[in-house]
Amino acid sequence: MEMLRQLRDHLKRREETGDRLNEMVQHWFSKVEIVETNTFELVARGSQELENNCLGSCCPRNCWSRHKIGRKIQSTLAEAAAIYDEGEQLLATPMETILGKLRSYIGKDEVGRIGIYGKGGIGKTTVMNEISSNLLSEHQFDYIIWVVVSQDPNLEKIQGDVGKEVGFLEERWKGKNQEDRAKEISDILSHKRFLFLLDDIWKPVDLTEVGVPLPDRENGSKIIFTTRSEEVCNQMGAEEKVKVVRLTEKKSLELFQQNVGEDTLRIDQQIRKLAETIAKMCDGLPLALITVGQAMASKKTLQEWNHSFEVLSKSVSEISGAKDPFFALLKFSYDSLPSDAIKSCFLYCSLFPEDFSISKFNLIDYWIGEGFLDEFNDPSGARNEGKKVIRTLVRALLLQDDGEDVKMHDLIREVGLWIACECGKLQDKYLVEAGANLIEAPEIGRWERARRMSLMSNRIQSLTKAPRCNDLSTLFLGNNHLKIIGNAFFQFMPSLKVLDLSGNRELTELPSGILKIFSLQYLNLSSTGIRQLPVELRNLVKLKCLNLEYTYELQTIPTRVISGFLKLKVLRMIHCASSDRTVGDGIQTGGHQSFVMVLQQLEHLNELTLSITSEYSLEVFRSWDKFQTCTLALSLHHFKHSRSYIDISFLDGMKCLADLEFINCINLKELRIEESLIMRGGSFNSLRKVSLVSCSKLEDLTWLTLAPNLEFLMVSRCFNMEEIICKGKLVEGNFNSFGKLEILRLVSLPKLKSIYPIALPFQCLKEIVVDECPKLKKLPLNSNSAKEHRIVIQGWEGWWKNLEWENETTRNTFLLSFKSCMY
């Protein structure tokens, strides 16, 4: 009882500090009061009973009476203990309470499927993250598999995500149908204890079609999923359900103030009071509290806070009833963005499918094509401005940074589409059916009012009708199954600026209608089956971005085509056309002198990706002035050279070289660097990504110690390589490499024995993949290599078991990092 009193007093003190308690807590107080009264009565009766012993004896006069009191005491003790446990749950934060419930359910043999439900933005994914992190560290499961499902479940994507988590190497799994994949997943998971986390389910998913066995007592596996609907929990067969509830007022205010910042709150006491009021308007929803808090962080005067409060109050009152008030709160964050251009950039992200990883590079290309980014004098101005916009949107919590990509929370995407389609002006109308498994395009009548349209990631095979859409400026048709586009299809699209046809491998020729879209500023033909670029394409004189990457079937690029694009800023041509083709007056992708002359005419060009196939071509391109200032990605592909080495010292002059790859350079034995560069150190400061594939004679990559900002390194099928960094070639004291490295992939290196001569402090490393490197017995790791984060190490079971560690502490540090490779 004394413990109960202390707990009750603690909860009451919380109430006095402004954390208003709900009806459940008030009901709990009533329970405590009842058990307290019963306890007083029992103590009094017990004392009286003890006085009623037989004269001169300790024996009771009435054994039955004493027995009844004893039983009553026992039941009251049990009741008090239960009430105490209930009070502790009430005292816990909502997150702690939910995690406590989940852990309890996970521990029950009879519970296999658990549903987490609650409205959008309430923190369901955060709960999943917490439970995943906690269970990962405890090593209760052989596999913890996380899959995002979204509104339109795509079984192939789900299978792909599951395959990655259980260790199927993607290149060995290509071409298999859904049934084969399901069987392979089932064969693995049927013999393992797994935790399968499905985030954001909108409709039931048949997991047996994916290949995931249903949990039972025997396998001890668990499935946990999040959804907005309790009904979906029932349809998915959840034995237990957990509802995620709003934060308390106190927790809401703490989260809001944390995002506003104490410096802002100190400016004026009235600002602090307004912060309390606005936090209440967010109704305990974490996503609203965070995004609105971030929006208010930039307001530094009481006048700004008063104005923002009036705007927010008016918006919530107007939208309530027609839409969830949460939409008004997120729209306020959108309205608080510093410029119309940044707002347009944000809305553009809602064109992509739900939970889609959007490449930052591609996104900025789209923005350049649409004209959202201002013109700048320095060569990489638009690119840098695009990066600033992304950082602004990430800070505002309207985008999530995911390395080379960004993602959009599904609820923020909903709000973005709502802003563009319903509460915006007519010209902002978006028509988005991305990732909706469409076989045919929407009826052409729906196209008429659209300004921006996305049909990407569907299964559309033909577009023959000619929709009349005079205001359409963006059209995404990428990653469909397009074979035919009618010549008249683009006839009534006079305002089209951005056209993306990428990923349509069966599209072999351009419709003639494209040649008349004189407004076009962005054209993406990457990964298509296009065989020819008609000379008339040069009529698209406003073109700023042209992407021809991975167009392996392309036979020729007429010189006159590229020379006509005088406003071109971005030209992407890595793996463009087959390396053995040179047709007519066209330019082979490897580069002729005529092509360099064409590039010299493109005054605005500031970004180029290019494959180079010969030493002669390399020498020609080295003479191009813009090689010194243009942002570059170079691929030396099937490189023909007379010597066994290439001196890459000249790359030091390319101040913006970001991406470099060597592929099928079969005679290449050495990559040389001038001694002066080696002594200077840190020469390749702009280099972020390096790939080497099928350079069978290459012996080491010690020159990479001169690339301090390297983020990605892949070495594959270099059969003669024994060391990545050769100790004998290292300059004394140069042991600080790979400080920025995030991804390291080593594949089919039969002689590889060493990555680096000593253990390194990998501040950023996220993933190491080692496949078919049987002689690599030690990794450059020690117990201090990853103090602040977890490194995933993927490889074969046999290789992992035979790995040598610096000491037992290091081994234990990385014990939970391993993920097995599977065929």
pLDDT in tens, 689-705: 999 999 989 999 999 98
- Is residue 755 scored above 90 in pLDDT? yes
What is the pLDDT at residue 679?
66
Superfamily of domain 96-243: P-loop containing nucleotide triphosphate hydrolases (3.40.50.300)
Which residue type, as a one-letter code, is found at position 718? C
**Mean pLDDT, range 249-265, rounded to an integer:** 88
- Is residue 505 scored above 90 in pLDDT? yes
pLDDT tens for residues 628-645?
A: 778 889 998 887 777 788
43 or 167: which carries more pLDDT confidence? Answer: 43
Least confident of 207-221, 458-472, 588-602, 774-788: 588-602
pLDDT tens for residues 297-314?
A: 888 899 999 998 888 888
> Is residue 752 very low, low, confident or very high in pLDDT (cuts 50, 70, 90)?
very high
**Mean pLDDT, range 487-507, rounded to an integer:** 95
- Is residue 719 scored above 90 in pLDDT? yes
Q: Which of 451, 393, 465 is nearest to 417 (CA)?
A: 451
**Mean pLDDT, range 234-262, rounded to an integer:** 87
Average pLDDT over the chain reads 84
pLDDT tens for residues 509-541?
A: 999 889 989 999 999 999 999 998 888 899 999
Least confident of 14-23, 51-60, 132-141, 603-612: 14-23
Q: Which of 641, 642, 693 is nearest to 663 (CA)?
A: 693
Which residue type, as a one-letter code, is found at position 643? R
**Mean pLDDT, range 348-357, rounded to an integer:** 93
Q: Write the burial class of residue 138 (CB in 10 Å: 0-12 exposed, 13-18 middle, 19+ buried).
A: exposed
For the chain, how far is it from start to end, CA to CA, in angstroms? 61
- Is residue 375 scored above 60 in pLDDT? no
pLDDT tens for residues 541-565?
A: 999 999 999 999 998 787 788 888 9
- Is residue 177 scored above 50 in pLDDT? yes
- Is residue 64 scored above 80 in pLDDT? no
**Separation between Cα atoms, residue 163 and residue 184, nearest integer Å:** 9
Which DSSP symbol is given to 753? Answer: -
Residue 704, both tokens: 């990479």
**Mean pLDDT, range 563-578, rounded to an integer:** 87
**Mean pLDDT, range 482-493, rounded to an integer:** 93
> Is residue 494 very low, low, confident or very high in pLDDT (cuts 50, 70, 90)?
very high
Q: Work out whether strand 405-407 and strand 358-359 pair parallel, antiparallel, or are unpaired.
A: antiparallel
Per-residue DSSP letters for 76-100? Answer: HHHHHHHHHHHHHHHHS-HHHHHHH
Helices (H) and strands (E) counted in the chain, each on its own, are: 25, 28
Side-chain-side CA neighbours of residue 751 (13 Å): 13
**Separation between Cα atoms, residue 654 and residue 687, nearest integer Å:** 10
pLDDT tens for residues 123-149?
A: 888 888 888 777 766 667 888 888 888
**Separation between Cα atoms, residue 791 and residue 787, nearest integer Å:** 10
What is the pLDDT at residue 817?
85
Look at residue 473 and give its three-state secondary structure: coil
> Is residue 161 very low, low, confident or very high in pLDDT (cuts 50, 70, 90)?
confident
Where do the domains of the chain lie?
A: 2-91, 96-243, 357-418, 641-823
What is the pLDDT at residue 30?
84
pLDDT tens for residues 73-125?
A: 888 888 888 787 677 656 655 677 788 888 888 888 888 899 998 888 888 88
* Longest CA pairwise span in the chain (Å): 125
% of the chain with per-residue pLDDT over 90: 32
10 or 365: which carries more pLDDT confidence? Answer: 365
